[in-house]
Amino acid sequence: MLKLDNHLSGRHFLHIPGPSPVPSRVLRSISYQTIDHRGPEFGAFGLQVLEGIQKIFQTKQPVIVYSASGTGAWEGALVNVLNSGDKVLFYETGQFANLWRALAKRIGLEPEVIGKVGQDTWRWGIDADLIEERLLKDTQHEIKAVCVVHNETSTGVTSNIAAVRKAIDAAKHPALLLVDSVSGLGAAEYRHDQWGADVTISGSQKGLMLPPGIGFNALSPRAIEVSKGIKTPKSYWAWDEILESNKTGYWPTTPSTNLMYGLHEAMDMMLTEGLDTVFARHQRLAEACRHAALAWGLENQCLDAECYSPVLTCISVPEGMDADLLRKHALEKFNLSLGTGLGKIKGKAFRIGHLGDCNELSLMAALSGVEMSLGAMGFKPKASGVVAAQEFLK
């Protein structure tokens, strides 16, 4: 049982960019009695879950559901469509693009990284023209896949995936398009089929409003066909056995039964609200958060307005301020959890998550905690970010 040294009254305000707050409905559904994952009741339930997750990815193609984190889903995607020694093109937009690349290297792939030349790649979305230029030079088609991050959780940058597909097609290159939408799915608009992704990776603990523990690979027909000729050793991650078992609503290994109860409930909530409404809500909350940062006189880590994330806002702190001390104060004084800066911006930025089960008042509470914590750090804002956000939202 988790024990805390000091009890803080009232609710905890979890505003990191994932895991996100889990709605009461979802928590209750997870607590339902576990059933036989080989019995007829589960088979019918499994088919419902698989149909629902296709709607969330906006695809008519199969979606692999792993009992794993998003990192596991990264590996599942790579080992099913790539052989050891294959060259893979990564576009760097932040820490998670780097971590995915590091995983690729560990499993025997040969990653190559590109990004904006002469600029801080962690402050911009993907420049699809750079991908096209690189693929045009690969006349022998040695690059087997292009790996990109849809919503870069470390920086608050959301990239244009449709433009990446257009760039690959314009280069007339056969590389597969693999997309990490671990933090984007369910919070930022995502269209797996329409945007031409071959594999989309995601996880349960962000926009889907679940605890960590479920990972996803949404597939394309071409990805499935390519996977049939891949020699990379794999067992648990192998798509073929999962796809065959999924035809009747089952899995070849033991699935996360109770988390899938929660997934079913979360999808019902999202589809009842309507995906377009869900995306619009996230955009509205994100814009309110940016109004607050602007009023405070603080800079958004993302410098491209077309790439502002609806999932989180990453805010740079003034020179001389330690962002982690700010976060520490917010947690200890106001029971507010903010996201830390990752990688090369650790201590230089903090992140406000406004995803999943979040509304106007939830965000306003977080912004109030940030503003009071900034004051405690000796920072004098240009104006009240709380008031600025209120004026936008009312």
Residue 7 has pLDDT above 80, yes or no: no
Half-sphere exposure of 237 (CA within 13 A, CB side): 23
In the chain, which residues fall in CATH 3.90.1150.10? 13-21+274-393
CATH class of 24-271: alpha beta
Task: Calculate mean pLDDT across residues 309-316.
Answer: 98
Residue with tokens 């984190």: 69
Query: Which pair of tokens denotes residue 96?
Result: 């998670």
Residue 4 has pLDDT above 90, yes or no: no
| Integer angstrom CA distances of residue 363 from 28, 334, 390 | 24, 14, 10
In the chain, which residues fall in CATH 3.40.640.10? 24-271
DSSP letters for 191-250: -TTTTT-SEEEEESSSTT---S--EEEEE-HHHHHHHTT-----STT-HHHHHHHHTTT-
Q: Is 29 helix (H, G, I), strand (E, B) or coil?
A: helix
Residue 1 binned pLDDT confidence (cut-offs 50, 70, 90): very low
Q: How confident is the model over 320-376, as pLDDT tens digits?
A: 999 999 999 999 999 999 999 999 999 999 999 999 999 999 999 999 999 999 999
Query: Which pair of tokens denotes residue 222?
Result: 């071409």
Half-sphere exposure of 165 (CA within 13 A, CB side): 16
Percent of the chain surpassing pLDDT 70: 98
Q: How confident is the model over 141-200, as pLDDT tens digits?
A: 999 999 999 999 999 999 999 999 999 999 999 999 999 999 999 999 999 999 999 999
Burial 34-44 (b: 16+ CB within 10 A, else e): eeebeeeebee
Look at the domain 13-21+274-393 and name its fold.
Answer: Aspartate Aminotransferase, domain 1 (3.90.1150)
Residue 84 has pLDDT above 50, yes or no: yes
Task: Calculate mean pLDDT across residues 128-133.
Answer: 98
pLDDT, the chain, mean: 96
Task: Calculate mean pLDDT across residues 96-109.
Answer: 98
Residue 5 binned pLDDT confidence (cut-offs 50, 70, 90): low
Q: How confident is the model over 209-254, as pLDDT tens digits?
A: 999 999 999 999 999 999 999 999 999 999 999 999 999 999 999 9
Residue with tokens 């693999």: 178
Which pTM does this prediction carry?
0.96
Region for residue 94 given its phi and psi (left: phi exceeds 0; alpha: psi -120 to 50; beta: otherwise) = left
Cβ atoms within 10 A of the Cβ of 361, count? 9
Cβ atoms within 10 A of the Cβ of 238, count? 18
Query: Which pair of tokens denotes residue 232?
Result: 């990379």
Name the more confident of 348 and 120.
Answer: 348
> Which pLDDT belongs to residue 364?
98
